[in-house]
Structure 1
Amino acid sequence: MTPVLPDPVVHVVDDDVDLRQSLVFLLESVGVQALTYPDARTFLAEFDRDEPAVVIVDVRMPVVSGFELQDRLIELGYPAPLVFCSAHGDIPMSVRALTRGAVDFLEKPYQPQRMVELVQAQLVQARLRFAEHARRRAVNERLETLTQREREVLQLVVDGLPSQVIAHRLGTSVKTVDVHRARIKSKTGADSLGTLVRDILTCGITV
């Protein structure tokens, strides 16, 4: 089931107050909600990790740079598309940003229409990314209810093995394996083990 998520917002992280205000005005003129932060620390303290979003960040900021913020968001597993916007960009900087997962690197002053088109495209991607992130988290939360033995059985089910083979692999009886299968289905709230296996494979999760 696809999670129901709110419309994405845009987070603007930049120590230039004039740029923040002008970017908010530009985005709101096309119906996009934008939130602003004067530095990376403020953003990290205030942003909602679960709210779909696009992040626009300057490279050179005091205390915590845009690149350091990018690294922190990667550590958090935050799925928002990240756009860098800098007046001091060069090729090595843009390569560094893009190879670490940023979706674009714009030079200031940016072309307003280019920014609008980029943000609108990434808002679509944000919806997809956060929906997938929510699905993965939901499946992982269901798997956390299982014991180690139940996880072992489930992994063999994911591998496509029948109860008889699983019992042989684990040195137990088929009846015991079937009990584990029933408990896995009950604990995870799955309609069937087949649907649970499908969710695990679709999300690329390791049991």
Structure 2
Amino acid sequence: EKVDRVELLASSIGKMAGQPSSVLEVAREGARLAKCDLVALMVGEFPELQGEMGAAYAIEQKIAPAVAEVIRDHYRPKGADDATATSPAAALVAIADRLDSLVGCFSIGLSPTGSADPFGLRRATLGILRTITGRFGPSGARRLPREEGRPRRERSRGEGDGLRGRATSRSLGREVPGRRRARLPGRRSREAARCPHARRCARRHR
């Protein structure tokens, strides 16, 4: 089911971002194969090779290099110093994969609390925002809460989980903007300029 959701989300986000059909097709195929290496003994022994081994297996099976790149790069960024996905298709799958995990965890109450974030949801949120701003610019990140969760929410409503879907949207609506304000360049300075107490606060912290 996760594969189906990620494929749907990647396609939906790509259309929203104005990506051509060729990119959407690569993203859809990459989403279908992105987790294929998780059952491999090599990845079971060395989890840090997930994605890398999937790309190697894909190339061995004569799958298109662009799809193999999606399999490898959709895990990026793996950390604060890691680069984001390089191709548009890989970026779409990277965003969709993390977004699906976020919605799934928030929908069953596994949201971060204080300093506790055992499932790395804040890191996933920052990964989404870094990928969006890197590939589609800051304006793309500002549309994130309104647009990207829509396919998953609509499916939830179809299964009779509309109330839970709306509660999840509200939880994400509180979490994502906070991460977004921390990431978008110039956002803090603009908010400070609008604050009537900005000068007083600046003098206090000198």
TM-score by length of 2: 0.26
Between structure 1 and structure 2, the one with the greater Rg is 1
From the two aligned structures, give the one with the greater strand fraction.
Answer: 1
Alignment TM-score, normalising by the size of structure 1: 0.26
